[in-house]
Structure 1
Amino acid sequence: MELNDVATCLEALGNPVRLKVFRALVRSGPAGLNFGQLHERIGIPRSTLAHHLNTMVQAGVLIQERAGREVFSRVDFARLQQALTFVLAECCQDSPECRE
């Protein structure tokens, strides 16, 4: 994963409402939640929820899939893991304590 990709992922999660939506989806696991379920849990206007979901889909942290008339959103856990691995890959590299 490249620096710009990671920055885009983290930027999408840098909004309190989006982070709340994202956490609800993390809690739901790989199955995700449909739009109605998310709306019930988060309690924001539908248009606002749709906007935030779209932002996170565009950033690549969420995947949306249609099942009949419902749209399910779920976390792209593999991409999230890649972003976190990128951030933590150089942990303590400049710290003398870690090299001992």
Structure 2
Amino acid sequence: MNIDEIAKALKELGHSTRLRIYKRLVQAGLQGMAVGQLQEDLEIPGSTLSHHIAGLVSAGLVKQRREGRTLYCVAQFEKLDLVLSFLKDECCIDERSRA
């Protein structure tokens, strides 16, 4: 992942509504969650939810799948792991080089 992709993911997660959405999708696990259920759980208007989901999808943090008439959102744990690893790998790098 390049730094621009990391920055975009962090930007999307830096908004409180998107962070709430992503947290709920993480809790839902690998099966994901129907958009309607997500809207009901978080009490977010449909148009607002769609806007925020689009940002998470564009950052690669969420994928969507359709089953019949139901649209599901699934957190992309691999992408989250890459973002967190990027931050963790850079932590205290100056101190490690002195040892």
**TM-score category of the 2 structures, normalised to the smaller one:** over 0.9
Q: Secondary structure at the match of 2:92?
A: coil
Q: How does 1:1-100 map to 2 (within 5 A)?
A: 1-95=1-95, 100=99
TM-score when scaled to structure 2? 0.93
Amino acid in the other structure paired with 1:40: E
Deviates more, 1:1-10 or 1:81-90: 81-90
Equivalenced residue count is 99
Q: How much does 1:99 deviate?
A: 5.1
Q: Deviation string for 1:49-90 (max 9, x for gaps)?
A: 011001110111101111111110011101111111111112
SS in 2 for 1:44: coil
Q: Which moved more, 1:20-29 or 1:82-91?
A: 82-91
Distance, in Å, in 1 between the alignment partners of 2:37 and 2:98 is 48
Amino acid at match of 2:89: A
Hey, what's the Cα distance between the residues in 2 that align with 1:48 and 1:90?
35
Distance 1:74 1:14 in 2: 19
Q: CA RMSD in A?
A: 1.4
The alignment's TM-score, normalised by the length of structure 1, stands at: 0.92
Runs of 4+ in 1 over 4 A off after TM superposition: none
Uncovered stretches (5+) of structure 2, i.e. residues with no partner: none
Residue ranges of structure 1 left out of the alignment (5+ in a row): none
Query: SS state of the match for residue 41, structure 1?
Result: helix
